[in-house]
Amino acid sequence: MSKPLRKVVFPVAGLGTRFLPATKVVAKEMLPVLDKPLIQYAVDEAVDAGADTLIFVTNRYKHAIADYFDKAYELEAKLEEKGKDELLALVQGTLPPHVRAIFVTQPEAFGLGHAVLCAKPVVGNEPFGVVLPDDLIWTGNNSTGKGALRQMAELANAQDAGVIAVEEVPQNETDKYGIVDATPIDERSALIHHMVEKPKPADAPSNLAVVGRYVLPGRIFELLEQTTPGAGGEIQLTDAIEALLKEQGKVLAYRFEGTRFDCGNKAGLVRATMHMAMQDPTLAAVVRDFVGKI
């Protein structure tokens, strides 16, 4: 994996049932945290990591994400006419000029592994990132100034290995995540030996849970094609990574520097919104005042 990270895949075909009825018409990735949708935070992180090609794996019903990153001629003309330059810059800045967005349709929901596999014609045989926008990772307070995916991409290049983001979870919650069995290399990285999908706490090899960031070699696509569908007919990305481990023996778990918010549920979205509000001095005062009153 000596090539730099240039392509990032965003699996965004899910139905977002935890946020119904809002997600009947609004893609869950378009749910806002303050004035930015979740997908914008994910894209900003990918661009920070060096990506210039973003592949959105979506379904045939979800058009909002494509519309969001498309040019809004009438809106931009109105803002320009009224001299609202700051707002115009925000609207035009959803994607940098050098970055292209490509949309690929996942015909049916056959799992995360299948969603990633749908991006194969665009990615080809080169290292690429996978970002799950549900996991918003804030790195505004870290010492490096680097987003989580950038941290991982640099490690992948340095070690010539696949890299998977992990974080410690309470032992009684291991049955909600993929869990890694790994030997520490340093404070933040570990060599993965095995991955277990949602083990019972008593059976979990550790409390290091896989979260929504991956840097993988192009070889993973061939392994996904060879992966047998599991429960519910889904192709699991975890199974293909297990095959990669057996074949190459070097995939690293990485404890990123940053704070993760699981915005795939209401509680996580509320936490992320409160946290981001507290980063703005004006909004922080509003939050403190409101919380104090209740």
Answer yes or no: is 219 within a domain. Answer: yes
pLDDT band at 192 (very low <50, low <70, confident <90, very high): very high
User: CA-CA distance, 71 to 69, in Å (whole number)?
Assistant: 7
CATH number of the domain that residue 199 is part of: 3.90.550.10
Q: What is the pLDDT of residue 231?
A: 65
**274 Cβ partners below 8 Å, 6+ apart?**
287
Burial of 185 (0-12, 13-18, 19+ CB in 10 A): middle
* Structural domains in the chain (count): 1
Answer yes or no: is 1 within a domain. Answer: no
Question: Does residue 141 surpass a pLDDT of 90?
Answer: no
Question: Does residue 56 surpass a pLDDT of 50?
Answer: yes
Answer yes or no: is 236 within a domain. Answer: yes
Answer yes or no: is 2 within a domain. Answer: no
Model pTM?
0.93
Answer yes or no: is 193 within a domain. Answer: yes
142 vs 272, higher pLDDT: 272
Q: What is the pLDDT of residue 15?
A: 82
The boundaries of the domain holding residue 240 are 7-293
User: CA-CA distance, 198 to 180, in Å (whole number)?
Assistant: 10
Answer yes or no: is 49 within a domain. Answer: yes
What average pLDDT score do residues 11-39 get? 92
What average pLDDT score do residues 116-130 get? 95
Answer yes or no: is 80 within a domain. Answer: yes
Question: Does residue 1 surpass a pLDDT of 70?
Answer: no
93 vs 260, higher pLDDT: 260
Q: What is the pLDDT of residue 249?
A: 65
Answer yes or no: is 81 within a domain. Answer: yes
